[in-house]
Amino acid sequence: MSVEHLEARWIDAFEKTLRLCAVGRGSEVAILSESQSRRVLIDLCEHAAARLGCQVFHVIVPSAKPAVLIPVRSTGASDALSGMAAVVRALAGVTLVLDCTVEGLLYSKELAQILEGAHGIQPRVLVISNEHPEILERTVPHGALESVVRSAMRRLRAAHTMRVRSSAGTDLDVKLDGARIGGVWGFCEKPGQVSHWPGGLCLAFPARGTVNGTLVLAPGDVNLTFKRYLRDSIELTIKNDYVTGIDGAGLDAELMRSYWGAWGDREAYAVSHVGWGLNANARWDALAFYDKADCNGAELRAFAGNFLYSTGANDVAQRHTLGHFDLPMRGCTVSLDGMAVVRDGVVMEEAEAS
């Protein structure tokens, strides 16, 4: 991959994104990082914020010792701030937190404490995914993406059922009553908002006991926890939220069985969230162009028309575990109350009867 030298065009991309976050001269911006953070992202944040006249300071913490002897990837739940109440208080009093931690604060318990605010200020948090800057440059957010995501969220929030089908054999039903609906578009301009870059997806965290059916992962679908395109089909049987069967020959299925089994935790097999991607600038094939260390895979969660099935922690269902899979799938039809919002992997501008 190309050298992570500080390029002017990358600073331009970060400046554009920070403008969308409505900061400017005098805005207090905290850049949060840890000892294992990607240095170029920290520098890009600093230069872009300085161009806008922001008051910038750094909060750098040591990367935490792993809690388990199993690799943990792409959870969105950094533990870098665990036990650091003074740091949380400092972050709660700024206009914008630029989160450059390795895993990100999206699902960290400290995020809610930061967003409570301090000194009459309620901050907003932009999680900058641990990607090579070239990826962030290609997926710079824009205002139109917000309206696309918000529209999809409204449809999702109004629906009672989600049905997912594919020619590969996926046949999945999700009851949406009681689900928590979310969405991200890559920037945050209002107090209390959280987003991540790259953005462009909407999702639901289903309530307990609401997901059933068969999920067939086909060649070309992605196991983002492993940063790997699947070469073989894998059939997952899902009963009342939990994967109860992992059928398939070949290395892909064997790796999934091994990683799930390593946790010794039933909750690792349960659904975390479901949703679909909406970012037309994000690419399914991007993973082929980068070494694993160069990317975190947020782009593949957001590429337009993918159905994203994720397992692991789900606060709505009161399940907590470090075991986690993000599985973007192609070629699916996603229907809400019988109306297709994605048909055969293509986002519908208007919902159609399925």
Coil, strand or helix at 122: coil
pLDDT at residue number 73:
83
Task: State pTM to two decimals.
Answer: 0.95
Q: Which CATH architecture has domain 8-128?
A: 3-Layer(aba) Sandwich (3.40)
Q: Determine the pLDDT at residue 351.
A: 66
Cα separation, 195 vs 180, in Å, equals 16
Q: In the structure encoding, which two tokens stand for residue 51, read together?
A: 């161009």
Residues of the chain with pLDDT under 50: none
Separation of alpha carbons 342 and 334, rounded Å = 5
Query: 20 near 189, Cβ under 8 Å?
Result: yes
Q: What angle do CA 188, 203, 21 make, to 5 degrees?
A: 5
Q: How far apart are CA 171 and CA 173, in angstroms?
A: 7
Q: Rounded CA gap, 247 and 49, in Å? A: 50
For residue 44, the model assigns a pLDDT of: 98
The phi and psi torsions of 159 (rounded to 5 degrees) equal -85, 155
Q: Which of 301, 305, 318 is nearest to 241 (CA)?
A: 318
Q: State pLDDT tens for residues 75-111.
A: 888 889 998 999 999 999 999 999 999 999 998 999 9
Distances (CA, A) of 64 to 40, 82, 112: 21, 8, 20
Domain ranges for the chain, please list them.
Answer: 8-128, 142-353
CA distance 33 to 39: 9
Torsion of CA 1, 102, 286, 253, to 10 degrees: 110
- Tens digits of per-residue pLDDT, 178-191? 999 999 999 999 99
